[in-house]
Amino acid sequence: MSEDTALQRVKFYQTGTHTVGNRLMDEDKRSVQSSIDRSNAITSGHRACQGCGEALGARFALDAAMRSCDGNMVAVNATGCLEVFTTPYPETSWQIPWVHSLFGNAPAVATGVAAAMRRKGRAQTKVIAQGGDGGTTDIGFGCLSGMFERNDDVLYICYDNQAYMNTGVQRSSATPPTARTATTPAVGEAPGNVFGTGKNLPLIAMAHNIPYVATATVADLHDLETKVTRAMNMSGSRYIHVLVTCPLGWGSATNHTILLARLAVESGLFPLFEAEDGAVVRTQKIRKKVPVEDYLKLQKRFAHLFKKDREDVDRIAAIQKMADANIDRFNLLGERSAP
Amino acid sequence: MTHELPFAITLDPSTSLANKTGSWRTERPVYLDRLPPCNHTCPAGENIQKWLFHAEEGDYEQAFQVIMEDNPMPGVMGRVCYHTCETACNRGQLDEPVAIHAIERFLGRMAFEKGWTPRFTAPDTGKKVLVVGAGPSGLSAAYHLRRLGHDVTIREAGPMAGGMMRFGIPKYRLPRDVLDYEIQRILDTGVQLELNKKVEDIEAAFENEGFDAVFVAVGAHLAKRIDIPAHAAGKILDAVSVLKEMETGGEPPKLGRRVIVYGGGNTAMDVARTAKRLGVDESMIVYRRSRKEMPAHDFEATEAEDEGVLMHWLRTIKEVDGTNVTVEKMQIDENGRPQPTGEFETIEADTLILALGQDVDTSFLEKVEGVEIARDGVVTVNAQMMTGRAGLFAGGDMVPAERTVTVGVGHGKKAARNIDAWLRGKAYEPPLKAELAAFENINPWYYDDAPQSKQEQLDPVRRQTGFEEVLKGLTEDNALYEARRCLSCGNCFECDNCYGICPDNAVVKLGPGNRFEFNYDYCKGCGMCALECPCGAIKMVQEGS
């Protein structure tokens, strides 16, 4: 029974290559979230909504950060959903040293914590600051830009759910065009948020020429954890912008949280890239490109674009144009490298 | 809590673990094992997904042992089975099905190289069972009965075991060393084989020899014939005899220079391809319908064409006059039935081989009281595969079913389980079938793009001149690659997705091999775990149902 041909090689794990873990994968290549020993930085019993993307994004990022520094870190938190659902007095879900001050000053507090650590001779203690898009792109923006300008040794993570969700879904400067919020209702000539250029904080951060800027989503854990780990092993100001789905604010099904984050990437609306010292160094290629409709249709905040017999073709096309511009700008199509 | 809490505070200062957010839930996720479509369609009832699970890890022996629970001949099966599993495979909707047959064949070869044997655990029962016929069904029944602890004797009328696997399937599809090895491995489990011993009297086996049960699986070996007016009779043979002669005759059958094979089934293709290998100049198929309606599997016709077999579709044979064969052109009517057109052609041929199907020789059963033989010659059995005579079971080609090796092997297993139950005075209760794992239950995002590995084919020139095996096997690398293309439909493969993505840490990881469980104290019922489970092993159910 001799039979020998050489045709195919085992390239990777065809069985669930992109899953959180994989019994076929080497232990050290598995994601932090697959580990039975992960920190669970935000433990059970927190009061986030069903299917909260921010609860996921924060745990993914902080667990990876905890692993990369052996737990020697402090996290500073701006006001927002994340702070409210984890720490209603007198409980806490945090299993890490955690400080909350005000809505707008998380970067300044983190800068202070880093300085204090240095002064106490504990410079190896890593400092992370985190906030939502409101606390980052609007209210805390001045503090953040100052922190970048001084190149303070802090990793800032923004969990972007594209509006002020904690106080009842009000528009922020990260709210996408045409999206309905409590303050940009779907009425009148140009329903939803104005079709402006938006405030693209990763690009603004890059303009500060800080050591590291990256974007990530809750849909690709290997990617997110790699970026957090990379940032944790650098010093100076670092910024990671994580897109987190908000079922309540977006009007999406609670089980679509990861799916929507994935579609945001695959449509080109949310490009995944890394920049060092102001220049893009790596991009995550789109695996299977989808039209923006696939992403928009699953969310009630865009429902007015898809009214029966009155589909808003022009605005959908304008959103598609945004996605295509991202694809061009970051060169998102082409061969994807193994994670 | 009796002590006083601060104003507007409902909980003690503490961790949020005191807050059982599971009370928010209206739907709960549950783990389940769904039935993968491959397992569902396998006529031998193999647990394909389970053995692929072990093969993916490179634990080929465990994979082999899992196959052996259902099918004692992976090497044969990986070659001759028409793999309904691959037609059903969910991966086929993504790119191409997993080449299950090629992996099974590889495992068969590994077992041969390493000398693996099946693990038997049942204690001996002392019950004696006679199996009549050493074809796929009889061998399978004998193996499974042995596995269940019974004494088994096979009686075979022919000079060699294997039945249609040997006398109906040419060597270029099933090399005889593979067949011999796998039959011997069955016999080595303690099955007695008596060759050249035709069973004529079933009752005597019960009464005089003390068999507690009998399983008959003598196959369908009688070639169907039709009347073709022949003025000066040319040479007319039947396909079964030609194929059989290839195995038993000292000299290959003499066919002349031009051969017509009449029929459109797999046997017709086999005979036409065999004729080509025997060196005839022209080997032709004449079939009354078109390729679309032929009963042969498409790959068989394609391989035959590659080897130079000529196809005359939509033709019936009207008359034979010496070497002149008159055929009438047919056309397919709106009901899909062939109708004559009144147009005739003449084809020259030295030999006409009829491949029109086979009948069962049931003469030895006619005198057994209670046994019912249907008008078309097949034996009637009940759901337990028992004939009207208590303790007499039948299976394989002689009962109503599709006539393939794998169906025969499946009958053998089913009969063995029912015979075992009957011998113990019980009725066999097949386990309840889980719900089917449909493609809609799969989340294909998590699987990498991976085109199917192709088995290399023997060069057509060498195929026309010898009986060397046409399809090559996979290397270990290729087999591992191919096994890892399995989506593990409906069955958890411990990818940690549910554990990793639960926003409430409500999934508990139990460690390698032990899968996961839900902590319903904290599960809010968002359903993300179910939607993001790559293989569809989680289902959302209404709370309280």
Q: What is the dihedral of CA B135, B138, B139, B145, to 10 degrees?
A: 180
The Cα angle at residue B168 between residues B382 and B73, in degrees rounded to 5: 70
For residues B67 and B46, give the distance between their C-alpha atoms in angstroms, rounded to a whole number: 6
Of B506, B527, B534, which has the smallest distance from its Cβ to A16's Cβ?
B534
Of B461, B482, B503, the residue that ends a domain is B482
**What is the structure's pLDDT at B451?**
84
Tell me whether residue B433 is in a domain.
no
Taking contacts as CB-CB distances below 8 angstroms, the residues of chain A near B24 are 50
Task: Say which residues have a Cβ less than 8 Å from residue A303's Cβ, sequence separation at least 6.
Answer: A180, A186, A251
Q: Which of residues 280-339 of A touch B (CB under 8 A)?
A: none
Q: Could you give the number of structural domains in chain B?
A: 4
Say if residue A90 is preceded by a cis peptide, omega within 30 of 0: yes
Same-domain pairing of B143 and B237: no
Of A1, A50, A53, which has the smallest distance from its Cβ to B109's Cβ?
A1
A16 close contact with B: CB closer than 8 A: yes
Query: What is the residue extent of each domain of chain A?
Result: 39-330
For residues B293 and B338, give the distance between their C-alpha atoms in angstroms, rounded to a whole number: 10
> Is-contact A33 A56, C-beta < 8 A?
no
Are β-strands A238-243 and A212-217 bridged in parallel, bridged antiparallel, or unpaired? parallel
Same-domain pairing of B335 and B456: no
Helices (H) and strands (E) in chain A, counts: 11, 11
Each residue's pLDDT tens digit, B82-119: 999 999 999 999 999 999 999 999 999 999 999 999 99
For residues A115 and A125, give the distance between their C-alpha atoms in angstroms, rounded to a whole number: 11
Longest alpha-carbon distance in chain A = 77
pLDDT band at B1 (very low <50, low <70, confident <90, very high): very low
Using the structure block, give the residue that is written with the tokens 């089975």.
B81
HEC readout, B356-389: CCEECCCHHHHCCCCCCECCCCCECCCCCCECCC
Each residue's pLDDT tens digit, B249-258: 778 888 999 9
> Is-contact B197 B155, C-beta < 8 A?
yes
Tell me whether residue B487 is in a domain.
no
> Is-contact A41 A63, C-beta < 8 A?
yes
For residues B22 and A134, give the distance between their C-alpha atoms in angstroms, rounded to a whole number: 30
- CB count in 10 Å sphere of residue A130: 28
For residues B185 and A10, give the distance between their C-alpha atoms in angstroms, rounded to a whole number: 32
HEC readout, B318-352: EEEECCEEEEEEEEECCCCCEEEEEEEEEEECCEE
For residues B242 and B221, give the distance between their C-alpha atoms in angstroms, rounded to a whole number: 12
**What is the structure's pLDDT at A4?**
40
Are β-strands B507-509 and B516-518 bridged in parallel, bridged antiparallel, or unpaired? antiparallel
**What is the structure's pLDDT at A151?**
98
Tell me whether residue B206 is in a domain.
yes
Best mutation site among B10, B16, B101, B477 for testing chain A: the one with the most A CBs within 10 Å?
B16
Same-domain pairing of B26 and B133: no
> Is-contact B202 B364, C-beta < 8 A?
yes
Tell me whether residue B147 is in a domain.
yes
Q: What is the DSSP string of B396-453?
A: GGGSSS---HHHHHHHHHHHHHHHHHHHTTS---PPPPPPB--GGG--GGGSPP-PPP
b/e map B174-207, b = 16+ CB within 10 Å: bbeebbebbbebbbeeebebeeeeebeebeebbe
Q: Which of residues 259-288 of A touch B (CB under 8 A)?
A: 259, 262
- Residue A224's H or E segment, with its range, is helix A221-232
Q: Give the nearest chain A residue to B176 (CA atoms).
A: A1
**What is the structure's pLDDT at B3?**
65
What are the Cα distances from residue B74, in Å, to A37, B44, B157, B179?
A: 41, 11, 25, 10
Each residue's pLDDT tens digit, B482-532: 999 999 999 999 999 999 999 999 999 999 999 999 999 999 999 999 999
For residues B51 and B48, give the distance between their C-alpha atoms in angstroms, rounded to a whole number: 5
Q: Which of residues 156-195 of A touch B (CB under 8 A)?
A: none
Q: Taking the CA atoms of chain A, what radius of gyration do you get in angstroms?
A: 20
Of B357, B384, B411, the residue that ends a domain is B357
**Residue contacts between A and B (CB atoms, under 8 Å):** 216
Are β-strands A310-311 and A306-307 bridged in parallel, bridged antiparallel, or unpaired? antiparallel
The Cα angle at residue B397 between residues B392 and B403, in degrees rounded to 5: 150
Cβ contact, residue pair A91, B504, below 8 Å: no
Q: Is A28 exposed, middle or buried (0-12, 13-18, 19+ CB in 10 A)?
A: exposed
Would you give the DSSP letter of residue B471? B
Tell me whether residue B431 is in a domain.
no
Would you give the DSSP letter of residue A139? I
Cβ contact, residue pair B495, A255, below 8 Å: no
Q: Give the nearest chain B residue to A53 (CA atoms).
A: B503
Domain housing B330: 223-357
For residues B447 and A235, give the distance between their C-alpha atoms in angstroms, rounded to a whole number: 36
Cβ contact, residue pair A15, B478, below 8 Å: no
Each residue's pLDDT tens digit, B63-84: 999 999 999 999 999 999 999 9
Look up residue B488 and give its two tokens. 């593990």
Nearest Cα to Cα of residue B39 among B30, B51, B48: B48
Of A6, A50, A253, which has the smallest distance from its Cβ to B24's Cβ?
A50
For residues B103 and B84, give the distance between their C-alpha atoms in angstroms, rounded to a whole number: 15
- Residue A107's H or E segment, with its range, is helix A106-119
Q: Give the CATH number, domain containing residue B47.
A: 1.10.1060.10
Local mean pLDDT, 10-residue blocks, chain A (339 residues): 44 72 84 94 96 98 96 96 92 93 96 97 96 96 98 98 96 96 90 89 98 97 96 98 98 98 98 98 94 98 92 94 96 70
Nearest Cα to Cα of residue B452 among B43, B102, B67, B37: B102
Cβ contact, residue pair B21, A45, below 8 Å: yes
Same-domain pairing of B256 and B342: yes
- Residue B317's H or E segment, with its range, is strand B315-321
Same-domain pairing of B164 and B210: yes
Look up residue A20 and give its two tokens. 């959180």
Residue B424 has pLDDT above 60, yes or no: yes
Same-domain pairing of B376 and B406: yes
**What is the structure's pLDDT at B182?**
98
Using the structure block, give the residue that is written with the tokens 């609670």.
A254
For residues A249 and A7, give the distance between their C-alpha atoms in angstroms, rounded to a whole number: 50
Tell me whether residue B430 is in a domain.
no
Same-domain pairing of B28 and B148: no
Each residue's pLDDT tens digit, B140-192: 999 999 999 999 999 999 999 999 999 999 999 999 999 999 999 999 999 99
Each residue's pLDDT tens digit, A50-64: 999 999 999 999 999
> Is-contact B81 B165, C-beta < 8 A?
no
The architecture (CATH level 2) of A39-330 comes to 3-Layer(aba) Sandwich (3.40)
**What is the structure's pLDDT at A13?**
57
pLDDT band at B7 (very low <50, low <70, confident <90, very high): low
Same-domain pairing of B250 and B291: yes
Task: Say which residues have a Cβ less than 8 Å from residue B357's Cβ, sequence separation at least 6.
Answer: B223, B224, B263, B265
Same-domain pairing of B508 and B526: yes
**What is the structure's pLDDT at A301?**
97
Lowest-pLDDT choice from A71-85, B32-46, B345-359, B444-458? B444-458
Same-domain pairing of B349 and B230: yes
Same-domain pairing of B72 and B105: yes
Residue B234 has pLDDT above 80, yes or no: no
For residues A302 and A291, give the distance between their C-alpha atoms in angstroms, rounded to a whole number: 15
Look up residue B6 and give its two tokens. 């601060």
Q: Give the nearest chain B residue to A44 (CA atoms).
A: B504
For residues A5 and B74, give the distance between their C-alpha atoms in angstroms, rounded to a whole number: 20
Reading phi first (left if > 0) and then psi (alpha if -120 to 50, else beta), residue B356 is in alpha
Same-domain pairing of B56 and B113: yes
Tell me whether residue B246 is in a domain.
yes
Cβ contact, residue pair B527, A17, below 8 Å: no
For residues B128 and B130, give the distance between their C-alpha atoms in angstroms, rounded to a whole number: 7
Each residue's pLDDT tens digit, B361-376: 888 998 899 999 987 7
> Bigger pLDDT: B23 or A308?
B23
Of A13, A18, A93, which has the smallest distance from its Cβ to B16's Cβ?
A93
Report ipTM for this prediction: 0.93
Q: Give the CATH number, domain containing residue B372.
A: 3.50.50.60
The terminus-to-terminus CA distance of chain A in angstroms comes to: 39
Lowest-pLDDT choice from B126-135, B247-256, B293-302, B437-446? B247-256
Three-state DSSP state, A133: helix
Best mutation site among A9, A10, A263 for testing chain B: the one with the most B CBs within 10 Å?
A10
**What is the structure's pLDDT at A227?**
98
The residues facing A58 across adjacent strands are: none
Tell me whether residue B478 is in a domain.
yes
Q: What is the DSSP string of A244-292?
A: ---HHHHT--GGGHHHHHHHHHHHTSS--EEEETTEEEEEPPPSS---H
Residue B322 has pLDDT above 70, yes or no: yes
Taking contacts as CB-CB distances below 8 angstroms, the residues of chain A near B472 are 3-5
User: What are the φ and ψ backbone dihedral angles of B393, each rounded to 5 degrees?
Assistant: -110, 160
**What is the structure's pLDDT at A6?**
45
**What is the structure's pLDDT at A338?**
47
